[in-house]
Amino acid sequence: MPKKAEKVVKKSKKSAAGEEYGAAQITVLEGLEPVRKRPGMYIGSTGPVGLHHMIWEVVDNGIDEAMAGHANLIVITLLPDNMVEVYDNGRGIPVDIHKQAKVSALEVVLTKLHAGGKFGQGGYKVSGGLHGVGVSVVNALSNYMKAEVYREGKIWVQEYKRGVPQKKVRAIGNTKLKGTKITFQPDNTIFQTTEFNWETIVDHLRQQAYLNKGIKIKIFDERIKDKTQSYEYYFEGGVKSYVSHLNGNNEPKHEKVFYVEKSMVPEKGNSENPEGVLDERPINVEIAFQYIEEYKESIYAFANNIINPEGGMHVMGFRSALTRVLNNYARSKGYLKEKDDNLSGEDVREGLTAVISVKVSEPQFEGQTKAKLGNPEARQAVEVVFGEALAIFLEENPKDAEGIIGKCLLTAQARKAARSARDAIIRKGALEGMTLPGKLADCSSRDAATTELYIVEGDSAGGSAKQGRSREFQAILPLRGKILNVERARLDKMLANNEIKSLVIALGTNIGEQLDMTKLRYNKIIIMTDADVDGAHIRTLLLTFFYRYFPELIRQGHIYIAKPPLYKLQKGKDVRYAYGDEEKDKLVGEMGGIEKSEIRNQKSEIKKTKGQGVEEMEGEETGEVDQTGVGERVAGINIQRYKGLGEMNPEQLWETTMDPKTRVTMRVDIDQAEKADEIFEMLMGSDVMPRKRFIQTHAKDVKNLDV
């Protein structure tokens, strides 16, 4: 080694004195210690998602028993003190002594990572579990867990605290039941919250009931005494029932829901896997679909009950077979002439609602989130099973086939018209050097990673925003009135709308087939509307637009909602802003030194005296309310209620809603795509009745309605 290099090495050793790296620095964590040390690695997060995943892990064991043909009932009960009880009537976890571990198999399953009947060749042919981490991790992350096994006519019990067994597995009585009951309480030192969300649980378990036909899932909420609520799900129709549920708020284009369920062993040496399949065991394919009178494509893909938001091989097989079979049928029946082009994949998927569920022995997922299925044999199985069944369905149901082909042909015509309209816009932009909309006040920075686009309601607010903004990184695009409801419009009609056209050009990504997210001109797109009914409607229209045509903007975290204040409070030079009534009352108390109850009493007295026609004396301790309700004076504090963004001057708008240091914004996320899809359809779709029922149901919940 050169002398210069030796000096560098010696110097580095000295600087790292005391930081030796040898056997003594290798930490070995026993049992479930690594789970408690790094919970996020095992449960995904320590937030609400990870908390609810605890329930899914335990429920999955029951579903695995059901898929193996040993159970048909799962009962989930939420108990006080954030306790959860999950029972399934399966075979029950084995309790005999494990040869290697020398303790009960129940203790092995509950206290050892990667222990269970899903790793060998005898426990389960197909498993929905292990897509997470197993019940042992739930045990590790629980303050308390109790396992009860009903097996061989006896009740076997073991209790744990933070994954540590308190006693050996023991029999405590006789029973005629069979199955397993797990009761656990999440560790409040691990999770950010241990409060379970009822709706989240109900939605997830309903989906699982659809995906596992013939399983009865009961859910009880007993957290509040004498206020038990419950749901029971049981679907003989499987994913066929699921499609009917998803299309509940839409008009179908054909009466019958297509459905097929069949298992097949993939052939060796297929085009997807020329050297032979990885697993020769049967793959179960279950598919249902129905076309509706809408323009979007809704495909929900699952592998072993795990949702795959990015699709995968099974979705590729489905799309390939759908396009091929529909084109063959349309040609054979004369719907497509020799001179006509084939229907494209986009043509045959518009208005389609489909659920694809496959169950494979060894699922291969891309990424830790299991977002995409990678098994090549799954594509072949789906393509063969679905293709054969669809061809038979079309021949046996000519009326339904006519509705499906008619929908696809209409889509093809509209696609050509939309392409012409879109191309006209792009050509126009190219001729003008990609001229941005005249109403857009662009920012000076060209670094898309740091820039923001404010979509503002109205020219008045747009003017204030343009004057108050930071010109370096904030762009302003004012919209005139309400944009087109894209839930009810095709792409060609949508692009004819000037407001939408301006927005598409401002984003820079293009739209439809030409969408290119790498050309996005702004990192944050912030919707800034008035805090009233019209503002909420405009915000919903914009969210519908982004959800339907730019879902990646939402998934990648680019869409935000600005939250302007409702009130301005001023006492002398002391100026503060409140975003709601409670915050306003709190600030009045702070600025005026009076309690909330006194504020309410003053307001009550003011209204009472006004009603009696009594004249009021002005003073620091009296309140004044103008007849419009826009302004009031309490304890010498002037309170202004903003009816709209246009009432703020540029400085106020910057300080309250646009300054990154002080503003309040909410990022738009899609946690549950199916739920979001259902809500957008209900609120913005063409069918009026679901919207009417929603309004009638929730009208009493609305507070401070501004009409």
Catalytic sites, residue numbers: 457, 530, 532, 534
364 CB-side CA count, 13 A: 10
Quote the CA–CA distance of 663 and 562 in Å, as a whole number: 8
Token couple for 403: 């509705």
Q: DSSP secondary-structure letter at 520?
A: -
* Triad 696, 697, 702: Cα angle to 5°: 85
Rounded to the nearest 10 degrees, how much is the dihedral formed by the CA atoms of 574, 579, 582, 583? -30
Quote the CA–CA distance of 303 and 358 in Å, as a whole number: 5
Count the neighbouring beta carbons within 10 Å of the beta carbon of residue 67.
23
**Spatial CA neighbour of 439 closest among 424, 423, 453:** 453
Token couple for 501: 């056209």
Count the neighbouring beta carbons within 10 Å of the beta carbon of residue 4.
7
Rounded to the nearest 10 degrees, how much is the dihedral formed by the CA atoms of 259, 265, 271, 277? 130
Quote the CA–CA distance of 299 and 652 in Å, as a whole number: 46
**Spatial CA neighbour of 135 closest among 206, 215, 54:** 54
* Triad 368, 372, 376: Cα angle to 5°: 120
Greatest Cα pair distance, the chain, in angstroms, is: 100
Quote the CA–CA distance of 668 and 556 in Å, as a whole number: 10
**Spatial CA neighbour of 194 closest among 86, 78, 37, 87:** 78
**Spatial CA neighbour of 180 closest among 64, 90, 97:** 90
Q: How far is CA 663 from CA 454, 469, 479, 523, 526, in A?
A: 13, 12, 21, 17, 12
C-beta separation of 596 from 584 below 8 A = no
**Spatial CA neighbour of 113 closest among 185, 29, 19:** 29
Quote the CA–CA distance of 291 and 328 in Å, as a whole number: 19
- Phi, psi for residue 678 in degrees, rounded to 5: -65, -40
Token couple for 84: 């959860």
Quote the CA–CA distance of 683 and 539 in Å, as a whole number: 13
Enumerate helices (H) and strands (E) in the chain, giving the number of each. 22, 26
Beta strands of 164-252 (E only): which ranges?
Answer: 164-165, 170-174, 179-186, 216-221, 229-233
Count the neighbouring beta carbons within 10 Å of the beta carbon of residue 297.
15
Beta partners for residue 246, in sequence order: none
Helix (H) or strand (E) run with residue 151 in it = strand 142-151
Contacts of 284 (CB under 8 A, 6+ apart): 126, 261, 262, 263, 358, 359, 360
Quote the CA–CA distance of 125 and 104 in Å, as a whole number: 24
Count the neighbouring beta carbons within 10 Å of the beta carbon of residue 614.
8
Beta partners for residue 284, in sequence order: 263, 359
Token couple for 36: 């408690």
C-beta separation of 531 from 461 below 8 A = no
**Sheet arrangement for strand 574-578:** 574-578, 567-571, 637-641, 631-634, 624-625
